[in-house]
Amino acid sequence: MALLNETPQANRVRIAFFGLRNAGKSTLVNAFTGQDLAIVSDTPGTTTDPVSKAMEILPLGPCLITDTAGLDDEGELGELRVKKTLGVLEITDIAIWVETPHDADRADLRELFLGECRRRNVVVLDYRRGDSVNELKQKIAGIKLADVVPGLLDGLVEKGDRVICVCPIDESAPKGRIILPQVQLIRDCLDRHATSIVCQPAELPAALDCAGAGALVVTDSQAFGEVRRAVEGHDVRLTSFSILFARQKGDLAEFLKGVAAVKNLKDGDTVLIAEGCTHHRQCNDIGAVKIPKALAKLSGGKKLNFVFSSGATFGLSDRSGIALVVHCGGCMLTRREVLLRIDCAKEAGVPIVNYGILLAAANGLSDVSEIGIVASSIS
């Protein structure tokens, strides 16, 4: 039950601690969190992998705290640890550089670190061993992050409006609960004092009669065709959970270009299917089964090769020859992470589309221009 009450990690401020070995990062992390989160030792290189902890820290609110290995780690394993440490910057909002007076001898590593932070627009604060931890917290609390995530329903729903959430329950639905995007949309409705009506596709006609004219209908993309037919003749607006998340966290225009590029795929092309979380794949899994079926339908039956990535590893930078990236809705990722993945695809010259827009195209929307009409109504 505790998991149902926790703030999703994608909605937490990401704070990570960096520095050289034995700079005091782990000691600071433990003092900062008030817990023995990290192992502390005088032995250089005690922290070998990033260690994260989600927690509430006053006055900061929901945070994800991460301790990292020293950037001066050595040897073949050390190089891998440094790579992992720098990779943490991909999901970091605020980086704390921890140092001792002796660390000035490795100013080159600090400059490397600062350059990586600038490239990713990560805020950096300095902490010298022995400084006040409370003062550090106050500095962090005073930071106004530039990357403010808009609400899912910004500009679409106001107080008193009605939103119909169409949530199919099939073999891929988690037992006894609904998935995070659906939960977040309902919470957004509550925050706006709007009325949310939750139903399956079969009950949508009754929900439409209850909601009346002007309602916003939000559907799972896999049911887009069925829902689109059901709302014909009703004075309502229609979109999908994935389009709302693409609008909130991603780049809708790039995703529309990505779905348009599907028709250019050729036999033998490789498609990367990327997910921001890890989960047990089921018999009719969306990434392993439904997305390949949708691509076959939209590409005219091209015989494609598929590679997969999940969790913190995007996978595009480690592979060549990718013709298309199909990404999940990103409900477990921050806006920064989603945009970085889109930028990575753009730099590689690889089109990218998300699950929802691809499935909407395969389940009821006839062409890209029609998807654009749906998208433009929520931009």
Contacts of 285 (CB under 8 A, 6+ apart): 172
**What CA–CA distance (Å, rounded) separates 358 from 222?**
10
2 band by pLDDT with thresholds 50, 70 and 90: very low
- Closest alpha carbon to 112 in 84, 78, 72, 77: 72
For residue 373, what pLDDT is reported? 45
361 band by pLDDT with thresholds 50, 70 and 90: confident
Q: Sort strands 123-128 and 94-99 into parallel, antiparallel or unpaired.
A: parallel
**What CA–CA distance (Å, rounded) separates 210 from 181?**
23
Q: Sort strands 270-275 and 237-240 into parallel, antiparallel or unpaired.
A: unpaired
**What CA–CA distance (Å, rounded) separates 320 from 315?**
10
Q: What is the DSSP letter of 287?
A: I
**What CA–CA distance (Å, rounded) separates 69 from 129?**
17
For residue 376, what pLDDT is reported? 44
**Which of helix, strand or coil describes residue 94?**
strand
- For the entire predicted model, the pTM comes to 0.67
Higher pLDDT: 256 or 190? It is 190
Average per-residue pLDDT for the chain: 83
pLDDT tens for each residue of 283-334: 567 888 889 999 999 999 999 999 998 876 776 766 678 999 999 888 778 8
**Which of helix, strand or coil describes residue 238?**
strand
Terminal CA-CA length for the chain: 36
